[in-house]
Amino acid sequence: MAPLALDPIDLALISATQSGLPLVPRPYHSVAEKIGIPAEEVMARLTSMLENGAIRRIGLVPNHYALGYRANGMSVWDVADDRVDELGERIGHLNFVSHCYRRPRCPPHWPYNLFAMLHGKSREEVTAYAEEIRVLLGKASRASDILYSQGILKKTGLRIT
Amino acid sequence: MPVQPVPLDEVERRILNGLQGGFPICERPFQEAANALGLDEVELIERIERLIKAGVLTRFGPLFNADRLGGANVLAAMSLPQTDFDRVAAFVNAQPEIAHNYRREHHFNLWFVGAAETPEKVESTFSYIELVSGYPIYRFPKEREFFVELKLKA
């Protein structure tokens, strides 16, 4: 989707909230005070950002490892071009998939065009999830692989402003 | 960075399972969210503070979509021999435009995300890494994102 037009107040709002909301009874009022606009405007702008997709969701962001999700597997699939969009939508809705994208193949090194990130408490669990995807894709998938993480070397989060 | 699993009590599980999205936008959102979870406002705020301190949560608040805000981010991979892995991985990490970097078990053993205000800036970082390291970068820009409804069960 195309980028949204953001004004300086939007940018100030993003900058003031991207690392978290203040943990006080009136968090939006506290943000409003910080950037110098009325609380009603903070709430109206956040509501419209939720509606237009600038904000995916508001809530808590868990640390996978602390919840015991130690196995992280990037499952990759070579799916027929005329089926990949329809099947990608269905895979995204499986409740164990955290990200799902269509990406270009890179032949001859890389035949896969569908990426689905899987999280589990063990590799066995991740393998079982991949098996569910395999069944769902059926003959539309010609090849697949799972790339397990051996370590996070860097994770800064996306700093927007 | 990975931490050990943290033991959670029943209330904490309820909070984690119930509040991964849908936090209200109103004057007293913690009060409203607490009511829905059968807690009171102060208790919910204190619990969230504790979960952040214990590392169970990385953050509490809005999750922005960088694509919709005009930023560019591109997934990329490299295939590095073990003898050069640490040196090149450290060089990749040192670039401020690299947001995430993972080691993975595969012929393509280094996977990272380049993020910047523009696609040109991401591309110039990738070209620089290729030039200095002497290894090619394979680019996997997203062509389409499929909707996900992530709920990690606590």
The residue ranges of chain B whose pLDDT is under 70 are 1-3, 150
Neighbours of A92 (CB within 10 A): 19
User: Which residue in the set A53, A55, A110 is minimally distant from B62, CB to CB?
Assistant: A55
Per-residue pLDDT for A1 more than 80? no
Cross-sheet strand order for the sheet of B72-78:
B138-140, B72-78, B110-116, B98-104, A141-155, A71-79, A114-120, A97-102, B144-145
Burial environment of residue A15 by CB neighbours within 10 A (0 to 12, 13 to 18, 19 or more): middle
Chain B residues closer than 8 Å to A160 by CB: 64, 66, 69, 71
pLDDT of residue A69: 87
Contact A53, A43 (CB under 8 A): no
Alpha-carbon Rg for chain A in angstroms: 20
Segments in chain A forming alpha helices (H):
8-17, 27-35, 39-52, 84-92, 123-137
* Min Cα–Cα distance to chain A from B110, Å: 9
User: Which residue in the set A62, A98, A106 is minimally distant from B56, CB to CB?
Assistant: A62
Q: Which two tokens stand for residue B60?
A: 């509490």
pLDDT band at A143; cut points 50, 70, 90: very high
Per-residue pLDDT for A155 more than 80? no
pTM: 0.83
Ranges of each domain in chain B: 10-53, 66-141
**Calculated CA dihedral for residues B86, B89, B94, B100, nearest 10 degrees:** -140
Question: Of A147, A152, A150, which is closest to residue A130 (Cα–Cα)?
Answer: A147
Ranges of each domain in chain A: 8-52, 71-148
pLDDT digits (tens, 9 = 90+) for A79-106: 999 999 999 999 999 989 989 999 999 9
Chain B residues closer than 8 Å to A154 by CB: 92-93, 98-101, 112
pLDDT of residue A160: 55
pLDDT digits (tens, 9 = 90+) for A99-125: 999 999 999 999 999 999 999 999 999
User: Which residue in the set B20, B107, B144 is minimally distant from A102, CB to CB?
Assistant: B144
Chain A residues closer than 8 Å to B23 by CB: 58-60
Class for the domain spanning B66-141? alpha beta
Q: Give the best residue of A4, A48, A58 to mutate against chain B (max B CB count within 10 A).
A: A58
* Min Cα–Cα distance to chain A from B145, Å: 5
What average pLDDT does the segment A1-19 reach? 87
Architecture of domain A71-148: 2-Layer Sandwich (3.30)
pLDDT of residue B3: 60
pLDDT band at A159; cut points 50, 70, 90: low
Burial environment of residue B55 by CB neighbours within 10 A (0 to 12, 13 to 18, 19 or more): middle
pLDDT of residue B68: 82
pLDDT of residue A65: 82
Cβ–Cβ below 8 Å for A25 and B54: no
